[in-house]
Chain A
């Protein structure tokens, strides 16, 4: 293995990884430079270390807090290596499943004279380097208290173990990549259409799981459990680095050295395994996925909904297939699940009184309507950029901007309605909402779904991003931020009469409900006009 070649490859992969995520050329140039990342890492370590030290040693904090910080520092130093390993594995998996179909088998390295060991070494270094900011930050934050509480030797062990954990996590990702190449190739060759759905379902489950894992309430719960079980789970290799630090902090040098050596051995074993697997399953084989064996029978050339022509129906069918067949769409489909579960966790905590019991029905409107609005807005804002480089197919088609607005609006509206009704039924049953309140909320959600989808479509056409990148956003950063802000503002405006009614009368009066409906419909009609005007501009000239 040529270390020089592995290092050069690591630099190229790091640049590719960092630049692939950045849409702005300037930002890509700045953050795509590994040297700048190194400087940023140094800053991310030094600044928190200094701030923490100055704050803790200034004497402005009461002694009780310092005692608590000392306890957290001791536990935290042990936790850093395990947290780092899990984070790198998580981000690595997320990056893998978000890659568009086109970029799966087109890696430049597949044609170059690079051995599996050089590739795995380069890729492991690159992955570790990309996520090194987490290492810098966590070590920086813990350094200040470590100096103050005379725990620098333990911090030193934690630093060494964290670096090893970072590489161990990266090796796991490499191993998973090689396995994924193999498994997905055989799986899709055999399973066809059902394989696509299974992949989508699994991707959604993974996304929902990790999104929830990173939500504040759940992470506190999980971390508490993890730290309690770390010592008991000595047989799990991924916690060995944490145990090395823990033993070091307890003055058990022998145990610390043993766990340190075991960690090193584990990393080497994983690395060798990743190299072996990479050698076996070198290039992801593009698989020909056969959807059916039936001979061609045309879909009926009729419209599927009143007011929709054959052309609109064709685009609708195409968009539905896009939604359920492209793995980069999984994160959009995961949104309602994440929102619904997060909402459930907020409303029904593990212990104590539920939010609605504390605050009453008043809180339900924003808690119910905001997720619906966010979902419709995101689905709609991304629906034009999703076309990617294949958008020329729409440009050459004899369709008008109005037709495109109609058909692009229908998917977020339909999915939004399904989501909102399902959520409303769930909340209605759990919270025993009256029938009148149920219909008030249903009416509100219908106008919110329509309005948010229409305004989202304006932003989709105005700020479309057609580039096929890793984790394509489909809408520019500015468009996404501005669009979300405006969407939330408009939903607040729509719901405000009903909220005022509850604040004044303790219930929803019909006249206030009517005001909400009128505002919602007004927003929908205005947004439709804006979207149509913007779509006309978009279709005037192709941008890809």
Chain B
């Protein structure tokens, strides 16, 4: 058996499911720090993304698995590379999938 001690503040953060660390960066700053940021995102971080002039908030960069999966599936469907899900289900029911 192993026991891991987590400080109360860290425990609260993990249990809240909020991303951490969260930073605000421009597109250029993201590109400059790509490797380090990727590791942070993988550990549950998020980046609030701004245009290079800092005038526009574009959105949030994340590696949240639910969003990665949803965006990945949606893109393949939008590109016509994979049939829409209802069609896929119908194909599966007819035994037409591999």
- The answer to whether A and B come from one shared complex is no
